[in-house]
Amino acid sequence: GDFEKSEGWLDWYDGPSTPTFRLPEGSVDAHCHVFGPGGQFPYAPQRKYTPCDASADQLFALRDQLGFDRNVIVQATCHGSDNRALVDALQRSGGRARGVATVRRDVTDDQLAELHEAGVRGVRFNFVKRLVDRVPTDSLEEIVAKIAPLGWHVVIYFEAEDLPELYDFFSSIPTDLVVDHMGRPDVTKDPDGPEFELFLRFMRENTNVWTKVSCPERLSVTGPRALEGEQHAYRDVVPFARRVVEEFPSRVLWGTDWPHPNLKDHMPDDGLLVDYIPQIAATSELQRQLLVDNPRRLYWPEGV
Ligand SMILES: O=C(O)/C=C(\C=C(/O)C(=O)O)C(=O)O
């Protein structure tokens, strides 16, 4: 049918392993998606890929199996600014999910109020060129002005090579600003080198900036296989993520990124991704901040 998934798209991992690492009580999967079903929630005509359907019920089953308590569900580009699938999932969650939506510059205050009522607490802007026709620099400023009364924050997704030209613009955003997947560092480079240093400087100079130390499977060249005797899946990503967690322990978040859109070479076992966490957050204090305190402060500030 019209919603055939993209060529080469891998189905998400059916039957993920149960993690060895026990998530702390109240942990939040702070980056995940729901897609479709395409017949009920059509994908955006201008999308760059067509995902497999991935429902709220399947997301919540994964949440329970992995040991998370809550989700932050993030609008992906395949649904554009049609947030109906996201809102449906939030309404089904019984208050255990919050959302990050995508809106256009002509969004009305009533539409924003409806999204807030459903549990949306932020807006997402995608600067990854393969995912959008044009980067949303102009609409971002207008939308930031509209969401200010709601106290929402901004989530941005960009690639490390684009940070130099976007640095000043991103530094001018007045809200809390959450960077997806550490701004996608090239992990074949030196974690102490100039490229990652620019991202660390961005976080040092802008104390409103948070980042998700998620998606090693997107960044890794060494991949999911742990060498004999070594415990590190995605071992080439560990130094980058660990550095961020240890320098900015109160401004990091973590998520599965289920159902992992656009992965072509392998589909990660979500249980394995959870077992990666202690490599990058080595103490129970850091784990609690990463998985419980920080996402709760940002998405459930009312403390429920
Ligand atoms: O889901 C992710 O976080 C990563 C990807 C996709 C999107 O963010 C999206 O379509 O909005 C990607 O790297 O392709």
54 C-alpha to ligand 1 centroid (Å)? 14
Give the pLDDT confidence score for residue 229 in this predicted structure.
60
Give the pLDDT confidence score for residue 24 in this predicted structure.
98
Residue 5, pLDDT above cutoff 90: no
Encode pLDDT of 85-108 as tens digits. Answer: 999 999 999 999 999 999 999 999
109: annotated active-site residue: no
146 C-alpha to ligand 1 centroid (Å)? 25
Instruction: Tell me if residue 78 falls in helix, strand or coil.
Output: helix
Encode pLDDT of 63-72 as tens digits. Answer: 999 999 999 9
Residue 188, pLDDT above cutoff 90: yes
Q: How far is CA 112 from CA 10, 22, 38, 299, in A?
A: 34, 37, 24, 16
ipTM of the complex: 0.97
- Rounded CA-CA distance 75/44 in Å is 12
Give the pLDDT confidence score for residue 127 in this predicted structure.
98
Encode pLDDT of 125-182 as tens digits. Answer: 999 999 999 999 999 999 999 999 999 999 999 999 999 999 999 999 999 999 999 9
Q: How far is CA 81 from CA 30, 74, 100, 105, 200, in A?
A: 20, 12, 11, 10, 31
302 C-alpha to ligand 1 centroid (Å)? 29
SS3 content of the chain, % helix, strand, coil (to 5): 40, 10, 50
For residue 295, cis peptide bond before it (omega within 30 degrees of 0): no
214 lines ligand 1 (CB under 6 A): no
Give the pLDDT confidence score for residue 230 in this predicted structure.
60
Atom of ligand 1 nearest to the CA of 31: 3
CA-based radius of gyration for the chain: 18
Confidence bin at 1 (pLDDT 50/70/90): very low
Give the pLDDT confidence score for residue 264 in this predicted structure.
78
Give the pLDDT confidence score for residue 14 in this predicted structure.
74
Confidence bin at 112 (pLDDT 50/70/90): very high
Q: How many percent of the chain have pLDDT more than 90?
A: 87
Q: Which residues contact 229 (CB under 8 A, 6 or more apart)?
A: none
67 lines ligand 1 (CB under 6 A): no
- Rounded CA-CA distance 279/266 in Å is 21
Atom of ligand 1 nearest to the CA of 262: 14
Q: Whole-prediction pTM value? A: 0.95
Encode pLDDT of 207-244 as tens digits. Answer: 999 999 999 999 999 988 776 666 578 999 999 999 99
Q: Residue 180: which of 48, 56, 72 has the closest Cα?
A: 72
The residues with which 70 forms a beta bridge, in sequence order, are 28
Encode pLDDT of 280-302 as tens digits. Answer: 999 999 999 999 999 999 999 99
- Rounded CA-CA distance 278/24 in Å is 12
180 lines ligand 1 (CB under 6 A): yes
Q: How many percent of the chain have pLDDT more than 70?
A: 96
Give the pLDDT confidence score for residue 228 in this predicted structure.
63
